[in-house]
Structure 1
């Protein structure tokens, strides 16, 4: 099953609110025939666009190849949240890696947020501050408070304010949770506009972007000094370096990476503009994510549409009625919206790893890969692109710090990924419904 085409029409953005309200961007041409580049970048999401932008600004000849449109995948469909830290919290990292390495990873994540803010400002994409984390149990609340104190005391990060149940309810307009925290250093934005803005910047820096150019095979150089060939359905790129940035749509381009990075689907709905109705919902325009394994996440756009993501399925095909899949999760938080019309509903494919930390790898002597951002990709995928660009230029410290993280293959590798998805999503969905 080719996830590039199973749920979407070739070369078209999905019928999402983001696609309807995006910044204008004329299509880029498809690759035709043979071209030469210093670096071929496979994938036009945050990681690939960031890599292309930073490489072009360093003077490299860059060819970026995207099977659909730039920002077509998870980069243009996600919840738009620019979260702090890595996908795993610093106490998890400290226990496994030690304080020094955990601090290095925290600092990289702070660089990631700063990079997103800088690129968004350069591209004219507005950014709103604040993400609240909604906890479902006293143990989760206690852990959130401990982490806020720990980050302030040992990492110099004092932007997180713990919230009791009443304070959280006042902030989000729902009493569905027992408490949580508010991270003023985190942010949210229009995710497709960020991708389009990065594409414009990369184009203006001299990167050559090719859309509707599906990469189906790569002939890697076997040793330093040789060139690689990236084969598309309409042409090929001869290059000195290859960057793989396909994430959940990587397919079988590299089996080592694919065995460690599993695609999963997630779904989002948007309400009609709420106007002056329901003023209790997100009065400060804070974004929210809860503590479920299959996370509920939401925010309000500038037209006061509530954009709400959540819900799991156990197949790679999107459900026929996405709104019906997400609506129960929405109403579990905001039952007062039971009669509000959902104007948009869409799905997307992201990628997770066994330990929920990104998978950075060197699949071949002149090839770099970063994927498996596990729902934390707005910031980390954007940073990954810059780290891969720096590594191509010989400054690999940041890339190597991420690549040093253990990255286990899923049991059964690529062969059993689909059965694993069915079993895993069914199990974790049950846990969420039972409140674990």
Structure 2
């Protein structure tokens, strides 16, 4: 089964609140006939659009081929959180890689966050970027861990993270589930689909070409490479794979290390005065569970709540029920509030929850596996690949040096094995160990 079409109508955005609140242009023309380019970018999410933008601004003839629509995948469906650093926290990175390499990854993560903010400002992308992400936990010991993390970041990275007591956090997020937490005010949140479409407009303004509804069937690695779609052939000197969870069988080495999973988001009806019983400030929140719950208020006063994961191809038949259960654990007073929108999305994870950047051929680069940290990391990965093509590969090489391992079990067994592991971690969440 092809993930590109397993849960969605070909050529159409999902029925999400994001799509409902975004001016959607008509589909761009599909690739037809024979086309020549300096660089072919496969995928029009954050990774591919950022790569194409930076390449086009550098004067390269760049063509983007997208199987569906711009921002169709995780880039247009995610929780909209622009986090700091990497998906893995710094103390864990230090234990995994050592202080020096962990610091390099922190600095690259900070560059990623700054890049997103700069692109939004420079190209006047109206995606409602706002500051602040709070991290919280449901036990006193987990709150202590967060406070120690804040101390660590201030002492070793000179990075301020606000520490909140149980009372302070309740004043910010009046949920009975939470016992305290921290706030990273330099992180932020945004409307992800509007951000993706703004990047696409910037690509085209810089001279890049985007073809939608142009699924790649095969890539012949040569000098130059040949990229074949159903209706056209593109010959390019360089290729960038920016497919993330939708890579399919285009590259076996990447597919062994980057696994697609599904995550789900819902938007309530507008809350009116009840919004103050969810959040008293316009920030995003993520909790401390292994399968993270995350939420924020929309610009029109809805609760956007995300959580739950699945590891097969298909989304569940009733996404609202999947989302409502954890949402009511956090906000039981919303039991009678309708969920106006509920949608799923396919992201991609790696074993270590760190992105996988790799040179898949002498003239082909790939970046994927952002593990829920993709708003900044994917945007930055696109730039790093563009920089590498231009001759500056330092950032790409640093990210590519992160140790990666294939998922156990191969393509057939990795989903069932991961589902078993996630069931165990979900049980730990429920019983508090």
- Which TM class, normalised by the smaller chain length? over 0.9
Of 156, 159, 163, the residue aligned with 1:157 is 159
Task: Give the Cα separation in 1 of the matches to 2:390 and 2:49.
Answer: 17
**Aligned match of 1:185:** 186
**Aligned match of 2:126:** 124
**Aligned match of 2:361:** 364
Task: Give the Cα separation in 2 of the matches to 1:77 and 1:408.
Answer: 28
* Maintained 8 Å contact 1:37/1:62: yes
* Maintained 8 Å contact 2:166/2:180: yes
1:102 aligns with 2:99: no
User: Any idea what the Cα deviations from partners look like across 1:26-46, whole Å, max 9, x if unmatched?
Assistant: 321100011001111111100
Q: Which consecutive residues of structure 2, in runs of 5 or more, have no partner in the other structure?
A: none
* Superposed displacement of residue 255, structure 1: 0.5
* Maintained 8 Å contact 1:46/1:381: yes
Of 332, 337, 341, the residue aligned with 2:338 is 341
Count of residues in correspondence between the two structures? 431
Task: Give the Cα separation in 2 of the matches to 1:258 and 1:136.
Answer: 35
Residue 185 of structure 2: SS of its match in structure 1?
strand
**Aligned match of 1:82:** 82
Q: Which consecutive residues of structure 1, in runs of 5 or more, have no partner in the other structure?
A: none
**Aligned match of 2:45:** 45
* Superposed displacement of residue 314, structure 1: 4.5
Instruction: Decide which moves more: 295-304 or 21-30.
Output: 21-30
User: Any idea what the Cα deviations from partners look like across 1:187-241, whole Å, max 9, x if unmatched?
Assistant: 00000000000000001101110000001211112xxxx2101111111110111
* Superposed displacement of residue 319, structure 1: 1.0
Of 133, 136, 142, the residue aligned with 2:135 is 133
Residue 312 of structure 1: SS of its match in structure 2?
strand
Moved over 3 A (4+): none
Task: Give the Cα separation in 2 of the matches to 1:430 and 1:23.
Answer: 42
* Maintained 8 Å contact 1:314/1:426: no
Task: Give the Cα separation in 2 of the matches to 1:307 and 1:91.
Answer: 30
Residue 257 of structure 2: SS of its match in structure 1?
coil
TM-score normalized with structure 2 length:
0.97
**Aligned match of 2:226:** 229
Change beyond 3 A, Cα 1:67–1:185? same
Aligned ranges for residues 304-323 of structure 1 at < 5 Å?
304-323=301-320
* Superposed displacement of residue 400, structure 1: 0.4
Residue 358 of structure 2: SS of its match in structure 1?
strand
* Superposed displacement of residue 278, structure 1: 4.2
**Aligned match of 1:431:** 428
CA RMSD of aligned residues (A): 1.2
Residue 144 of structure 1: SS of its match in structure 2?
helix
Task: Give the Cα separation in 2 of the matches to 1:240 and 1:434.
Answer: 54
